[in-house]
A and B are shown apart, each in its own frame.
Chain A
Amino acid sequence: MFKIWSKAQWFLVGMGLFALILMPSFSENYEIRKWMDILTIAILAMSWNFIGGLTGYPSFAPAAFFGLGAYVTAIFMNAGFNFFLTLAIGSVFGGLIALLIGIPILRLRGHYFAIATFGVAEFFRELAENLRITGGGDGINLPQITGGPDYFTRFFYFSMLGVAVLTFLVQYFVTRHRLGYGLVAIRENEDAAAMTGIDTRKYKVIAFVLSSIFPAMGGGVYAYRAAFLEPIDVFDILFSIKAIVMAMLGGVGTVMGPLVGSFLLEYLTDYLWSAFTEFHSLFLGLFIVLIVLFLPRGLMSLFQELRLKGLRSLGTTLRSNIQRYRV
């Protein structure tokens, strides 16, 4: 189901990356910051894809590990560590915690798993609000970056881009590897997958760990840029929801889907947000409802269908989408 990409496909992705690398040379700081936010969400969406998309376990944990990574970076930078080193520490830390939590909660299925991950995210937030090392509800300051706004906007943008590229590559190789096929098998039928000799527990835990280390890294970059963290900001469950919605818009379980989804939706909501500042969440909510009703299998599958049947069938495809899952 996942084909090795042809040279043309790699060429297109390379062009996209090239554009993202060149973009800061031609853009205002505001525009660069916007793209950095898009990349942040893209990292979360791609990471969610490991556990939610490929494995079919609806996790709300991205926010938990995003916040965890942010706080690890904050605490270690305050202790005098180098920024990039703290990113590495954060991701290792995130991976270890994911391993510890993943082993017990991945025994749960369906909504119970969703609620458990939700509980984990909320528990982390409550913990950050009450521990002394995290500064409690007052929040925590990070060392300020030196250099002018032109410099540090680009510094953070490229750091985030680096994390995003890493996430994308790992995602690509996992889907072309035995691991990716195993995960999809678990999604389709876990018992059958176990019968064919897949160590389902090990596979699920690996997927959960993979889906945790990249948000932790992204959280670290976010923390350094924000220079001040509050539990309510970084453990915001909206990070998880956004990740899921973006992945859904693009196409759950596909490689390009989460990326396309986050670029599109984040750009769109940002555009509307600047027009109607107060109603940002209203528009995001509307988009979510429309996506679930009309594109339940994502844009990628819509593209495929349109390529087969032609653009004229757009209306019928959308109509049949809304009929597909009704009672």
Chain B
Amino acid sequence: MIYIQILINSILLGGIYACVAVGFSLVWGVMNILNILHGTFLMLGGYVTFWLFKLYGVDPFLSLPISATLMFVVGYVVQRGLINKIVRAPMFMSLILTFGLQMIVVRLAIYFFTGDYRTVEPSYASFSLSYFGLIIPFVRAAIFVLGLILTGILFWFMAKTRTGRAIRATRMDLDSAQLMGVNVGNIYAITYGLGAAVAATSGSLISVGFAISPVIDVEFLSKSFIICTIGGLGNISGALAGGLILGLVENFGALYFGPGLQNAIGYVVLILVLFIRPSGLLGRKGFD
């Protein structure tokens, strides 16, 4: 029975991990940027939900579109105003730039929000479904479902819309896309904004089931690293698979090796996957 319960927990956790990583994978895949700000957008999205709930009593699930829109705008501006200026530089430049921005934002967040751990607690926070002794917390299940829906929307957007096609074209060949009349600066900014919006939504979801603080960004950033590496870049199903695998590995690892080594096991899997299959389990060869 405990194994089935852990399996359920892992899948619920894996769903939110997938949602966290999907935006990161998008930005990395399209622009070859290792976006250190990804966790920061997630953290800010969490705080949008928290403050809306605390100050105006807005239900956390209703504030999802607000935090997504807000962070889309912020992400668009950051890419257009700053990152676009160095996109063609050696790749670690964008990494360092986003790291510098992350330091600024996190420091300001600690100043304005304090370092306390916060959590959004709506009246239904403790509801749970139980079947045959298995417990499914309502909030976690809702987070899982919403995370999957969000990932699905992104998938649809990339596959079916004109902007999505432009993004994919830019990813394949920047210069050709430009010749076809794609405004690359704009497309890059939209892509980055989308990544930020998805991150912010998952942050909002996380603020309900888990605790948030200005420094949670590093934790979720490193999880995104691991998930994208396991799943492989450039496709949304990769992020889904990676998220689920990480959820399983962490939960069962904690069971066998003790909760202290939970994170260490994640890194071991990361390094193992890199040794065995550098392009990730579902990644296509040469896509880096």
Complex: how many Å from CA A279 to CA B270? 34
Is the CB–CB distance between A326 and B85 below 8 Å?
Answer: yes
| Interface membership of A244, Cβ < 8 A | yes
Could you list 12 A-B pairs, sorted by A, with CB under 8 Å? Answer: A111-B28, A126-B264, A126-B267, A130-B261, A130-B264, A245-B100, A279-B107, A282-B103, A282-B108, A285-B104, A288-B97, A324-B88
Is the CB–CB distance between A114 and B95 below 8 Å?
Answer: yes
Top 9 nearest A-B pairs (CB, nearest first) are A288-B100, A285-B103, A126-B264, A325-B89, A285-B104, A58-B92, A123-B267, A325-B88, A282-B107
Is the CB–CB distance between A116 and B86 below 8 Å?
Answer: no
For B180-220 the 0/1 string (1 means CB < 8 A from A) is: 00001100100000000000000000000000000000000
Is the CB–CB distance between B88 and A326 below 8 Å?
Answer: yes
A56-B90, A286-B104, A326-B85 known, 7 other contacts, Cβ within 8 Å: A110-B91, A115-B270, A123-B267, A244-B96, A322-B85, A327-B87, A327-B174
For A301-327 the 0/1 string (1 means CB < 8 A from B) is: 000000000000000000000101111
Closest CB in chain A relative to B80 CB, distance in Å: 10
Q: Which of B49-57, B120-128, B271-279 contacts A (4 or more CB under 8 A)?
A: B271-279
Complex: how many Å from CA A326 to CA B80? 10
Is the CB–CB distance between A286 and B34 below 8 Å?
Answer: no
| Interface membership of A147, Cβ < 8 A | no
**Residue ID in chain B nearest A238 by CB atoms:** B103
Is the CB–CB distance between A123 and B89 below 8 Å?
Answer: no
For B126-154 the 0/1 string (1 means CB < 8 A from A) is: 00000000000000000000000000000
| Interface membership of A216, Cβ < 8 A | no
Is the CB–CB distance between A326 and B87 below 8 Å?
Answer: yes
The residues of A that contact B271 with a CB separation of less than 8 Å are: 105, 116, 119-120, 123
The residues of B that contact A127 with a CB separation of less than 8 Å are: 264
- With A279-B107, A325-B85 known as contacts, the answer to whether A126 contacts B261 (CB < 8 A) is yes
**Residue ID in chain B nearest A113 by CB atoms:** B274
| Interface membership of A261, Cβ < 8 A | no
Complex: how many Å from CA A326 to CA B85? 4
Is the CB–CB distance between B267 and A111 below 8 Å?
Answer: no
**Residue ID in chain A nearest B36 by CB atoms:** A241
Is the CB–CB distance between A292 and B88 below 8 Å?
Answer: no
The residues of A that contact B28 with a CB separation of less than 8 Å are: 111
The residues of B that contact A296 with a CB separation of less than 8 Å are: 86, 89, 93
Complex: how many Å from CA A245 to CA B184? 28
| Interface membership of B229, Cβ < 8 A | yes
From the candidates A56, A104, A115, name the one contacting B34 in the complex (CB within 8 A): A115
Closest CB in chain B relative to A54 CB, distance in Å: 13
Q: How many residues in B have their beta carbons less than 8 Å from beta carbons of A?
A: 47
- With A112-B278, A278-B111 known as contacts, the answer to whether A293 contacts B85 (CB < 8 A) is yes
From the candidates B92, B100, B185, B288, name the one contacting A112 in the complex (CB within 8 A): B288
**Residue ID in chain B nearest A284 by CB atoms:** B103
**Residue ID in chain B nearest A286 by CB atoms:** B104
| Interface membership of A289, Cβ < 8 A | yes
| Interface membership of B251, Cβ < 8 A | no
Is the CB–CB distance between B270 and A58 below 8 Å?
Answer: no
**Residue ID in chain B nearest A293 by CB atoms:** B85
Complex: how many Å from CA A112 to CA B95? 13
| Interface membership of A21, Cβ < 8 A | no
Closest CB in chain B relative to A18 CB, distance in Å: 34
For B248-288 the 0/1 string (1 means CB < 8 A from A) is: 00000000000011011001101100110010000000001
Complex: how many Å from CA A212 to CA B33? 26
Complex: how many Å from CA A296 to CA B96? 11
**Quick one: which of A287, A288, A322 has the most chain B CB within 10 A?**
A288
Closest CB in chain A relative to B173 CB, distance in Å: 13
Is the CB–CB distance between B274 and A116 below 8 Å?
Answer: yes
For B226-253 the 0/1 string (1 means CB < 8 A from A) is: 1001000000000000000000000000
Is the CB–CB distance between B264 and A118 below 8 Å?
Answer: no
| Interface membership of A108, Cβ < 8 A | yes
**Residue ID in chain B nearest A279 by CB atoms:** B107
The residues of A that contact B261 with a CB separation of less than 8 Å are: 126, 130
Is the CB–CB distance between B222 and A122 below 8 Å?
Answer: yes
* A142-158 interface with B by 8 A CB criterion: none
From the candidates B32, B86, B104, name the one contacting A326 in the complex (CB within 8 A): B86
Is the CB–CB distance between A126 and B288 below 8 Å?
Answer: no
From the candidates B32, B103, B226, B288, name the one contacting A288 in the complex (CB within 8 A): B103
